[in-house]
Amino acid sequence: MMMTRRSALKGVAAAALSGLTGGPARAGDAAAGGGILRQWYKVVLMLVRHTATYSPPVASRAFAYLGVAAYQAVASGSTSLVPLAGQLNGLKALPPRDPLKRYSDAVIAHCVMASAVKTFFGNTGPTGQRVMAAAEKKLKGDALKGLPDDVIGASLAYGETLKAAIVDWSKDDGGAVIENMGFPMEYPVSKEPGRWNPTSPIRMQQFPLLPTWGLNRTFAMPSGTSCGLPPPPAYSEDPNSAFMRQAREVHEVTAHLTPEQIAIARFWSDDPMLSFTPPGHWIAIAHDLLADKNAGLDETAEVMMRLGVAMADGFIGCWNAKFRYDYVRPVTVIRKLIDAKWEPLLITPPFPEYPSGHSTESGAAAAVLTSIYGDNFAFTDSTHARDGLGERTFESFNAAAGEAGISRLYGGIHFRPAIEQGLAQGRCIAQFAIGLRTRRPA
């Protein structure tokens, strides 16, 4: 991804950490650590795509915990970074470093990522297992290069301790166990008009994905209801109703899609198991941004932490609303009331419509990145280049989020209110992640 920086970094101090408590042991530890951490994120993005339980909400959860782990790897030895204990729900004080030992932030970051990735993606397939082992071997070699044994030993041990504490914290959040790829074995599907009905011929998708995800423990925001939404248009078959107007809009827009609109829909489709998912798409954007500026370890960790927390909270809030309103998908309405043979461009996701998950995620992600890098940060997004979907250039993160939102209308899987309210919900939820205190006053 080509990145053009147009605004000064806000909130992230210039990389200045020594990386070692008790004195530096290697010049450039922070710079090396930033690269190593980003390489781990590349591995994680691949694992998200290729691990069957990693639907978008599950992916967002992993990004949050991994982001917090990486951030704490640095903050635990920093005089300028503020630990997150007490700021994130359920996160008590994390194990401190031993003041008598010397550490490398880069080694700790590597170790905590290697170990946490093995935990969060322990259920991946044989190829993923092989990749994790190969990545650990390679990146460990990179991280340990030139360091004395005492630093290596202390750093690896602390990384394992920190990872264990993060994993312990994660266990009771409600999202730790995913069965049947997230689809319940039983679920009372409503028969009321205007409610969600299955839209897929796939048997396991006759019940909606992760119906209790909205009840999970949130990270930075108080609860899944913290950024509630107004109800969507009430079901009505009156041609003049708001309900029918939104349905007709989807039908009409999708009947006359331009090549550009089709490209937009496909670019932001971000299907699970065929892409990094919506939160992974934004992690990829951040990854490339950070790589482009060769960001150090503290900046990389902080950006990934805020982004992960915001998007994990975003999906909890979004899912809370989805299952509160249990709203019908366009394909159900349009085929019943407008055009029996209508086919949306994208595959309709197997869960309620309102609000749009990608919109909530994108609203949250764009708000976080805007808070750090400003509102006029132009960038080129090449997340899907290897999938043959090309690159897209945006004037700002908000412009990208807006396109991600409207892509769901072009794809025929959301009505406009779900997009607009989803983006607004995401922006609201992001404020909790943006509000996390990470920098000590100078």
Site residues (CB under 8 A) for another protein? 43, 46, 49-50, 52-53, 122-127, 130-131, 134-135, 138, 178-181, 185, 201-204, 271, 273-274, 386-389
Whichever of 176 and 181 has its CB closer to another protein, that residue is: 181
Nearest-angstrom CA–CA distance, 71 and 301: 5
Contact 379, 289 (CB under 8 A): yes
CB of residue 123 to another protein, shortest distance in Å: 5
Nearest-angstrom CA–CA distance, 265 and 246: 18
> HSE on the CB side for 315, CA within 13 Å?
28
Nearest-angstrom CA–CA distance, 68 and 241: 46
CB of residue 70 to another protein, shortest distance in Å: 20
Contact 62, 70 (CB under 8 A): no
CB of residue 339 to another protein, shortest distance in Å: 17
Which two structure tokens, joined as six digits, stand for 441? 């006053």
Q: What's the Rg (C-alpha) of the chain? A: 22
Whichever of 123 and 190 has its CB closer to another protein, that residue is: 123
CB of residue 335 to another protein, shortest distance in Å: 15
Whichever of 7 and 200 has its CB closer to another protein, that residue is: 200
Burial label for 157, CB within 10 Å (0-12, 13-18, 19+), is middle
Dmax of the chain from CA atoms? 75
Nearest-angstrom CA–CA distance, 333 and 341: 12
CB of residue 425 to another protein, shortest distance in Å: 30
Whichever of 79 and 127 has its CB closer to another protein, that residue is: 127
CB of residue 304 to another protein, shortest distance in Å: 20
Whichever of 186 and 238 has its CB closer to another protein, that residue is: 186
Whichever of 206 and 225 has its CB closer to another protein, that residue is: 206
